Amino acid sequence: MSRLLIIGCGGVASVAIAKCCQNSDVFTEIMIASRTVSKCDALKAKLESKTTTKIETATVNADSVPELVALIKSYKPDAVLNVALPYQDLTIMDACLECGVHYIDTANYEPEDTDDPEWRAIYDKRCKELGFSAYFDYSWQWAYQDRFKEAGLTALLGTGFDPGVTSVYAAYAKKHYFDEIHTIDILDCNGGDHGYPFATNFNPEINLREVSAPGSYVENGKWVEIPAMSIKREYDFDGVGMKDMYLLHHEEIEALAKNMPEVKRIRFFMTFGQSYLTHMNCLENVGMLSTTPIDFEGQKIVPIQFLKALLPDPASLGPRTVGKTNIGCIFTGIKDGKERSIYIYNICDHQECYKEVESQAISYTTGVPAMIGSMLVVTGQWLKPGVFTTDEFDPDPYMEALNKWGLPWQVVENPVLVP
Ligand code: NDP
């Protein structure tokens, strides 16, 4: 029996909420609160006849700590699941601390305004000291460690698929398959086709910022940064086939490098089709990916936000996307004195997801782990005071829940390795 406050009502939230409603023994009551309350009401109307979970809705501007505090104090949830945008991570964490409730999210903090001089000064210092230049990093949320610990509250960061499940796979491999892990390659393959020349599978602003940034990986405890899309590999994915994939910076590398310092190299690859890359390069070259406002006919316009308004809403891709995703991790290392390598992965079918919850597989593979992480927190299985990523808990209940709630995984020994 629990009450969960869910903030945000976009693509990922819709799946997380549908899954909470399937799991009504645990989530007896939920509140959906977002900027546009009509979306929350529409989702409630769709779900409430199929579940015993009691659903309430509210409007909230999650950039405002006082608004969040007022909402949390009136609803009195056991935990808050943040599936709004990474821009709201810190305000929601502040409000959770003030109200004494646990916090859960799927993506680490990044600022909406990357030209903010105060943020820039800290960012520039971090780029120099750590050696990677992505706008997002864990330092902002790890800085809450002592405050959550002292308050006896849990903050569970990044319980989506990647990050999220991929880090649970790492903890599971370490617990059951290896004495020492030497390398981790995280592979994110989307073999889905939505029929548009260009669209993003989740929030376009966040997605395009991530993909157009320089790539980076960790080797022997140090970051190595490379120009965007400059390392390309081909891989034959089970259930999908041969795909081009590119090395990207990704947030779980940072957490895994900190928590598993014995791993010698951690990389992240994502597949992209040629059409996506050509469009992205063109948009970047003409300045459409910029987050800096420009003056246009007396109005301030942020180019990437204008682009978002033109692109298909990721939540609308569900009915038209066909094909599968294959996301997982290749681990190499030593077990009982012998070399070992395994691939742990999930295959998810876009149309199957649509049939179940009217979403494509990218929202599905993120929304299901968001529900699972929330379930483990509210049932007390993953509670410890402080700020943690998903590799820092016992992976077994999470792995079991993945099989039960729609993201079954498999382990293959001796997979083809990525050069
Ligand atoms: P969407 O853009 O579809 O949804 C975002 C939601 O947040 C919308 O409902 C939006 O409201 C709401 N929102 C935005 N700003 C505010 C605000 N200030 N106050 C209240 N509500 C607000 O995004 P997605 O569902 O695609 O992504 C959600 C999160 O999931 C993101 O943080 C993303 O980075 C993360 N993600 C994580 C992945 C993983 O594997 N770990 C993979 C994919 C995404 P409105 O309807 O008014 O716009």
**pLDDT range class, residue 39, cuts 50, 70, 90:** very high
Residue 43's pLDDT is: 98
If asked whether residues 205 and 299 sit together in one domain, one would say yes
Q: Is residue 324 one of the residues assigned to a domain? A: yes
CB 404 within 8 A of CB 56: no
Q: Which domain holds residue 195?
A: 165-359
Ligand 1 atom nearest the C-alpha of 206 is 34
Parallel, antiparallel or unpaired: strands 265-271 and 241-247? antiparallel
Q: Is residue 99 one of the residues assigned to a domain? A: yes
If asked whether residues 134 and 173 sit together in one domain, one would say no
If asked whether residues 175 and 107 sit together in one domain, one would say no
Contacts of 346 (CB under 8 A, 6+ apart): 161, 165, 325, 326, 327, 328, 365, 402, 407, 408, 409, 410
Assess whether the C-beta atom of 162 lies below 6 angstroms from ligand 1: yes
Could you count the other beta carbons within 10 Å of the beta carbon of residue 224? 15
Q: Which of 310, 330, 359 delimits the end of a domain?
A: 359
Residue 291's pLDDT is: 85
Ligand 1 atom nearest the C-alpha of 64 is 18
Q: Is residue 294 one of the residues assigned to a domain? A: yes
Q: Is residue 104 one of the residues assigned to a domain? A: yes
CB 251 within 8 A of CB 174: no
Number of domains in the chain: 2
Query: Which of 9, 12, 327 has most ligand 1 atoms within 8 Å of its beta carbon, as the pocket-test mutant?
Result: 12
Mean pLDDT of 368-379: 98
CA 209–ligand 1 middle distance (angstroms): 14
Mean pLDDT of 398-412: 98
CA 179–ligand 1 middle distance (angstroms): 38
Q: Which of 111, 132, 157 delimits the end of a domain?
A: 157
Residue 87's pLDDT is: 95
pLDDT mean across residues, the chain: 96
> For residue 72, is pLDDT > 90?
yes
CA 337–ligand 1 middle distance (angstroms): 45
CA 88–ligand 1 middle distance (angstroms): 9
If asked whether residues 341 and 233 sit together in one domain, one would say yes
CA 316–ligand 1 middle distance (angstroms): 14
Q: What is the CATH number of the domain that holds 76?
A: 3.40.50.720
If asked whether residues 197 and 320 sit together in one domain, one would say yes
CA 397–ligand 1 middle distance (angstroms): 27
If asked whether residues 222 and 173 sit together in one domain, one would say yes
Assess whether the C-beta atom of 35 lies below 6 angstroms from ligand 1: yes
If asked whether residues 142 and 249 sit together in one domain, one would say no
Ligand 1 atom nearest the C-alpha of 315 is 3
Assess whether the C-beta atom of 186 lies below 6 angstroms from ligand 1: no
Q: Identify which has the larger pLDDT, 274 or 348.
A: 348
Q: Is residue 54 one of the residues assigned to a domain? A: yes
pTM for this one?
0.95
Query: Which of 43, 110, 202 has most ligand 1 atoms within 8 Å of its beta carbon, as the pocket-test mutant?
Result: 202
Q: What is the CATH number of the domain that holds 317?
A: 3.30.360.10
